Copies of this chain bind each other. A is one copy, B any other.
Amino acid sequence: MSDSVPFTGDPADTHEAIMHGTFFALKEYGYAELSIQRISNELNLSKSTLYHHFSGKEDLLLSFFDFLLDYLEQFYESGSINEPQKAISDIIDALLNENITPKKRSAKGEVLAMYVELRSQAIRDAKYRERIAKADQRFIRQIAAIINTGIDQGVFQAVEPEETAEFLLAVLHGILIQGTTRESVPYQQLHQNLTEYLQAELFVE
């Protein structure tokens, strides 16, 4: 994935400018305290300009969630499928090498933290769930394709690819939620535990 700090480049259009401003306003205030006023302050745009593009806070944040999910795809599109073991390890490293702990969060770690925060909206909101179902499916298909290649090459064990991909996604989500919600988490150790799991259950030794 790109090494640039997310959402700081020149926006292509007003929609993208609003998405960038929403990122920084959300970082400052969090979901519950965010308002159209605060986003318009962040952007030096009038509230009426924002209301021209979005019907309100919920509509705007749902668009922002789409924008965030598209960005996150970079984290797992980098690997070359022809080197399946490296491809899986690269995806895990891309996700887990960012610092996501509250006080030392990197810029990309902030994107991951925001993803966890907005994903939890789906507990009560079907519109978020629709998007999450598609995003999880994209991740699972990408990982399952790599696993299939690894099985064909004889370097992976004969697991069920989609099932293993779903479980890997759960482990990653669990590490992300622990890492974003405590000051101190043994993050390297969890990363290592996940690697050991893959060595035992997926990779052919």
Name A residues whose Cβ lies closer than 8 Å to a Cβ of B. 30-32, 102, 113-114, 116-117, 119-126, 128-129, 132-133, 136, 163-164, 166-167, 169-175, 177-178, 180-184, 186, 189-190, 193-194, 196-197, 200-201
Q: Shortest CB–CB separation between residue A42 and chain B, in angstroms? A: 16
Q: Are B182 and A170 in contact (CB under 8 A)?
A: no
Taken together, the copies of this chain in the complex come to: 2
Q: Are A178 and B189 in contact (CB under 8 A)?
A: no
The contact of A169 among B178, B189, B194, by CB within 8 Å, is B178
Give 25 pairs: A residue, B residue, CB < 8 Å, sorted on A: A30-B121, A31-B32, A102-B129, A113-B123, A117-B120, A117-B123, A120-B120, A122-B181, A122-B182, A129-B181, A133-B182, A133-B184, A163-B193, A164-B193, A166-B178, A166-B190, A167-B190, A167-B193, A170-B171, A170-B177, A170-B190, A174-B175, A177-B177, A200-B200, A200-B201
Q: Are A174 and B163 in contact (CB under 8 A)?
A: no
The contact of A166 among B129, B189, B200, by CB within 8 Å, is B189
Query: How far is A201 from B175 in the complex, measured between Cα atoms in Å?
Result: 18
Q: Shortest CB–CB separation between residue A160 and chain B, in angstroms? A: 9
Q: Are B116 and A102 in contact (CB under 8 A)?
A: no
Q: Shortest CB–CB separation between residue A6 and chain B, in angstroms? A: 17
The contact of A180 among B30, B123, B171, by CB within 8 Å, is B123
